[in-house]
Amino acid sequence: MNKRVVITGLGICAPNGVSIPEFEESLRSGKSGITFHPQLKDLNFSCQIGGKPEISEAKKSEYFTPLQLRGLNSSGIVYGVISGTDAWKDAGLEISEKDSPDWDSGIIFGTGILGVDKFREAIHLIDAGKTRRLGSTSVIQTMASGISAYLGGILGCGNQVTTNSSACTTGTEALLMGYERIKAGKATRMLVGSCSDHGPYVWGGFDAMRILPGNYNEDPESASRPMSAGASGFVPGSGAGALVLEDLESALERGAKIYAEVLGGEVNSGGQRGEGSMTAANNEAVQRCITGALINSNISASDVDVINGHLTATSKDSVEIENWVKALDLKNDFPYINSLKGMTGHCLSASGSIECVASVLEIAKGFVFPNINCEAVHPEILALIPEERVPRKMIEKPISILAKASFGFGDVNAVVIFKKYG
């Protein structure tokens, strides 16, 4: 089997947009979703800002039953269910109430850590000897596969339903796992994506590592500065992104809209050897991941029009650019490159899927979103690529091929290649 795989549905819960139209407008205008969080100040965080999707109680009631909402205390599940359900509906798929599952549809929806606030609530109740007050949903809200379990039940999927976890690479890896399953003929469609909780119990460890910016608490929208000379650390974020992947024959047969095609990709690890470590990438592995994605997609480096990088607004941004330059070996015709994290912050395990949704919108609608807060490009980056390759304003441009990369703690990497369909 060697099925062609296309994207027929998108859903989003990002700090700067909780619907596809709202998110697209934010991408085009360079709107930030990073805000000040008084709770972080009260807890003596150095970085008191973050990216968090705004979800009202009325919005939640559109996706969850009153029984499901009772005791629901996992922001990641809320974000994942909203984005996943929206992607399903956007693909023109019905939510069946039949007793028989949809055997041809599956889910791979990842997370890093889920239900942290529910864990905290449970610990207090258990320590107080009040275990019976935990409620019947404490397990499903705190198990890593809780998000895929929720979505699997809501949508009635009978194919593989599972959760993956690979730090910041999670969402991009989930997409490639779903792609491989459809390509092999094991599923007709797969809902793929990832989510991340928000708040101090998720973000605290990064604040302790002193890799978050502490000097923008009064100006949060200016804090995340990928590729900038003034970059001073990544801003934590949260949310979820979701995509429906589908066998091309199925999509054409039912007359589905097609956003883009997935040509292929690559996942690998640097083994935490050489310069690789738990928190730093092995540069050879990154370059191998990029070149492997090109080979697996049967394209050449010169075919790539745009790169949506990992680019977290740390000192490693220039190292990532150097890896792209070495892997692509394009000295005079380097593609445009951008990073969504200037607008959303680094959404951790949700970052790959949120950024994949942004990348697909760029291809489908023909634009390159701007790198905000990058008034002056870092000089080490300017020594590698022309300044105009780092757009600071939106560019209306037909895009044929886009490469999306995610690199995560544990020295893990994923690159996916998207192509405009047609």
Instruction: Quickly list DSSP for 114-179.
Output: --HHHHHHHHHHHHTT-GGGG-TTHHHHHSTTHHHHHHHHHHTB-S-EE---BTBTHHHHHHHHHH
Last residue of a domain, one of 219, 253, 287: 253
Residue 98 has a pLDDT of 78
In this structure, are 149 and 16 located in the same domain? yes
Residue 203 shares a structural domain with residue 290: no
Specify the pairing of strand 260-269 against strand 412-419. Answer: antiparallel
Q: In the listed set 207, 233, 253, which residue is the last one of a domain according to the structure?
A: 253
Q: Would you tell me how many other CB atoms lie within 10 Å of the CB of residue 151? A: 25
Tokens of 411: 């020295």
In a domain, 259, yes or no: no
Name the stretches of the chain with pLDDT < 50.
none
36 part of a folded domain: yes
Domain-terminating residue out of 253, 275, 307: 253
Q: Which of 244, 236, 129, 247 lies closest to 183, judged by CA?
A: 247
Token pair for residue 349? 């395990």
Contact (Cβ atoms closer than 8 angstroms) between residue 197 and residue 308: no
Residue 116's pLDDT is what?
87
The Cβ-side half-sphere exposure at 58, using a 13 Å CA radius, reads 0
Tokens representing residue 402 in the block: 């886009």
pLDDT recorded at residue 277: 96
Residue 410 sits at the vertex; the CA angle it makes with 405 and 412, to the nearest 5 degrees, is: 30
Amino acid 1: pLDDT:
73
Do residues 42 and 15 both lie within one domain? Answer: yes
Q: Is residue 391 a contact partner of residue 371, using CB atoms and an 8 Å limit? A: yes
Q: Do residues 229 and 271 both lie within one domain? A: no
Q: 134: burial class by Cβ within 10 Å (0-12, 13-18, 19+)?
A: middle
Q: Do 190 and 228 sit in the same domain of this protein?
A: yes
Report the pLDDT value the prediction gives residue 117, as an integer from 0 to 100. 87
Q: What is the dihedral of CA 202, 206, 212, 216, to 10 degrees?
A: 40
In DSSP terms, 366 is beta-bridged to none
Query: Do 227 and 332 lie in a common domain?
Result: no
In degrees, rounded to 5, the angle at the alpha carbon of residue 377 between the alpha carbons of residues 344 and 305 is 70
Would you state the pLDDT for residue 332? 77
Residue 258 lies in a domain: no
Contacts with 316 (C-beta within 8 Å, 6 or more apart), sequence order:
280, 281
Q: What's the sign of the alpha-carbon dihedral 280, 230, 379, 169?
A: positive
Q: What is the reported pLDDT for 135?
A: 80
Element holding 360 (H helix, E strand): helix 351-365
Residue 295 sits in the same domain as residue 202 = no
Task: Give long-range contacts, CB 8 A cutoff, 24+ apart: 150-154.
Answer: 150/77, 150/80, 150/81, 151/80, 151/81, 151/84, 151/85, 151/107, 151/109, 151/191, 152/107, 154/63, 154/81, 154/85, 154/95
CATH of the domain at 197: 3.40.47.10
Could you list the residue range(s) of the whole structural domain that residue 132 is in?
A: 5-253
Are residues 21 and 60 located together in one domain of the fold?
A: yes
State the DSSP H helix or E strand holding residue 415, giving kind and residue range, or none if neither.
Answer: strand 412-419
Question: What are the tokens at 362?
Answer: 């760029």
pLDDT of amino acid 164: 98
Judgement on whether residues 63 and 184 belong to the same structural domain of the protein: yes
Tokens of 20: 């596809």
What pTM value is reported for the model? 0.97
**pLDDT computed for residue 288 by the predictor:** 98
Do 410 and 270 touch, CB atoms closer than 8 A? Answer: no
Same domain? 203 vs 268: no
Q: Which helix (H) or strand (E) holds 80?
A: helix 75-90
**Domains of the chain: total:** 2
Report which DSSP code applies to 390.
S
pLDDT for 181 equals 98
